[in-house]
Amino acid sequence: MEIKSVGIVGAGQMGNGIAHVMALSGYDVRLNDISSDAIDAALALITRNLDRQVTREKISSADRDSALSRIQATPDLAQVAQSDLVIEAATEREDIKHQIFEALLPNLKPETILTSNTSSISITRLASRTDRPEKFMGFHFMNPVPVMQLVELIRGIATDAETYDACLAVVQKLGKTAASAEDFPAFIVNRILMPMINEAVYTLYEGVGNVESIDQSMKLGANHPMGPLELADFIGLDTCLAIMNVLHDGLADTKYRPCPLLTKYVEAGWLGRKTQRGFYDYRGEVPVPTR
């Protein structure tokens, strides 16, 4: 099946980036969110990011205008369901994802492929609650979507080869690289990345180093472009905690136990950049470590 239209549920950090790259690659995009403010913010951000690409001569102004014309914002899930490919990019909570798929099902075309941008939740389990587990996949973009080159494609136990091939063709048309992952908790990237971040939080929690020394050590000692605590703030500490809980629950291994300090930050509402405070305080001109 040739995919021409893409429906995206969730206009937040991931959803707006997915809409951006899909429209720029020639797909007709239907962007949905329960919040009209979120949709307005997403369209404004997409426009700014496209303008930046024009300024840097990555794309032409005609490319930008064409991409923007392909994005249709809609509060109506029924319209999104009429797309050839639907990508759920809502918050990393399984109950919310199930609600979204249940709302989509009555209006889906028989051939529509359903996917989730989940970073850790079982694709097989999500698919089992739909009417098309063979046409269901994990379609996990990295953040920020317009910049990062990798997309994880995750097959559930029932995903058929035709569905995988169709999604692979989309990734290739986007000019990105696909990594095929099996359906185990957190897949490949986050299975490796999140325990590293969690261990950095433990290093802070146990007083081995402060925020600055931990991040500086990994940037200068391991040549990481961002320190693990800085990266955690960028991802969102609530998302990091959610993925660690999925790993801990799904694999039943104590090495995946979330650090109590990570839990404490989330309980405080200090979720990183999106709330202006996490392991760094972003309310001033320069980020300041909070520990």
Q: What is the pTM of this model?
A: 0.90
Compute CA distances 32 → 21, 67, 238, 268, 280, whole Å: 16, 17, 23, 30, 32
Q: Catalytic one among 88, 152, 198, 230? A: 152
Average confidence (pLDDT) over 133-159: 97
- pLDDT of res. 1: 75
190 is catalytic: yes
- pLDDT of res. 13: 87
Q: Catalytic one among 32, 120, 140, 198? A: 140
Contacting residues for 286 by C-beta, under 8 A, at least 6 apart: none
Residue 31 contacts residue 19 (beta carbons within 8 Å): yes
The C-alpha atoms of residue 54 and residue 51 are separated, in whole angstroms, by 5
Q: Catalytic one among 119, 120, 122, 198? A: 119
Q: What is the pLDDT of residues 225-246, one digit of tens each?
A: 999 999 999 999 999 999 999 9
Q: Catalytic one among 116, 120, 190, 198? A: 190
Average confidence (pLDDT) over 111-121: 95
119 is catalytic: yes
Q: What is the pLDDT of residues 152-171, one digit of tens each?
A: 999 999 999 999 999 999 99
